[in-house]
A and B are shown apart, each in its own frame.
Chain A
């Protein structure tokens, strides 16, 4: 053990005693490698969450079915990672079970964001000739004025709902956002 420590100092690797009580204390972790793995894992999980969130929104999934697709795609990613590591996740994580669960909660936020965004885009976008030129065609039909107001205003995307009654310019409609509830968003169903 003394020789190993001398080699570590010579090699320049940083040492970190593990904090958890159930981790083997004879192991020495390299913090920069842990950080590298965490960044790679986070990148993969967030990208898969974004892509599957877009797919769920496009296909019009709502409620529990949407969360089920998130869990399914997360499991698919974990299985692919497991096989990319040759079936041995132990060298790459502090505990081998972390290959299934690490980074999932952070990815869930991205999933929900893109899920609701694309659900709203697909549900309430009018590409027809009634599109207002200032909004590049992303306007909502009359039924969903309120939710487009709320969603567009909060997301800062410049959604300008074109109601059946009036068709005003983008700045004016953004100015008087009504406090409509998000009844049309998928999470409430």
Chain B
């Protein structure tokens, strides 16, 4: 089955807005994490301890921002279309092929004996 936001067009513009907002939010979270990491390193320099691993909150921010950004950009720009024309052609019906009786004219030929024209 398809994912929840596979038919973003069907869900309307609200899903598009959520995706746009989440894209921007993930970048903002990463900028915030940058500032947090810089402050953490300054703290380590102040107490003269070496850097071994980032603190848990920064790691969580980074992981969450990456996952949210991935989901959001797929919802925003992940609308793929089938590339084979046979897919499109397979969905056509006979009505689209034959113009139909719209252009069938009757009584176009002049008869030799007009008396029998409307029998």
* A-to-B contact residues, CB < 8 Å: 3-4, 7-8, 13, 15, 27-30, 33-34, 36-37, 40-41, 43-44, 47-48, 51-52, 54-55, 58-60, 73, 76-77, 80-81, 83-86, 91-94, 118, 121-123, 125-128, 141
Residues from chain B with a CB closer than 8 A to the CB of A58 are: 30, 33-34, 37, 54, 58, 62
Q: Tell me how many residues of B have a C-beta within 8 Å of chain A.
A: 47
- Known contacts A40-B79, A81-B74; 17 further A-B pairs (Cβ under 8 A): A7-B97, A13-B88, A28-B84, A30-B88, A34-B83, A40-B78, A43-B73, A48-B70, A58-B37, A58-B62, A84-B6, A84-B78, A86-B2, A92-B81, A93-B83, A123-B41, A126-B42
Residues from chain B with a CB closer than 8 A to the CB of A73 are: 66, 70
> Contact: B83 with A33, CB < 8 Å?
yes
Which residues of chain B in 64-99 are interfacial with respect to chain A, using CB atoms and an 8 Å cutoff? 65-67, 69-71, 73-74, 77-89, 92, 97
A-B contact pairs, 20 of them (CB 8 A): A4-B89, A37-B83, A40-B78, A44-B73, A48-B69, A48-B70, A51-B27, A51-B65, A52-B66, A55-B62, A80-B71, A83-B3, A86-B6, A91-B83, A91-B84, A121-B34, A121-B38, A122-B41, A123-B41, A141-B45
Expressed in whole angstroms, the Cα–Cα distance for A4 and B37 within the complex equals 60
* B-to-A contact residues, CB < 8 Å: 1-3, 6, 23, 26-27, 30, 33-35, 37-39, 41-42, 45, 51, 53-54, 58-59, 62-63, 65-67, 69-71, 73-74, 77-89, 92, 97
> Contact: B63 with A55, CB < 8 Å?
yes
> Contact: A51 with B70, CB < 8 Å?
yes
> Contact: B37 with A37, CB < 8 Å?
no
Chain A interface mostly helix, strand, loop or mixed?
A: helix
Interface centre among A59, A83, A121 (most CB of B within 10 A): A59
Shortest distance between the CB of B104 and any CB in chain A (Å): 20
Shortest distance between the CB of A151 and any CB in chain B (Å): 16
Expressed in whole angstroms, the Cα–Cα distance for A123 and B97 within the complex equals 66
> Contact: A127 with B42, CB < 8 Å?
yes
Residues from chain B with a CB closer than 8 A to the CB of A83 are: 3
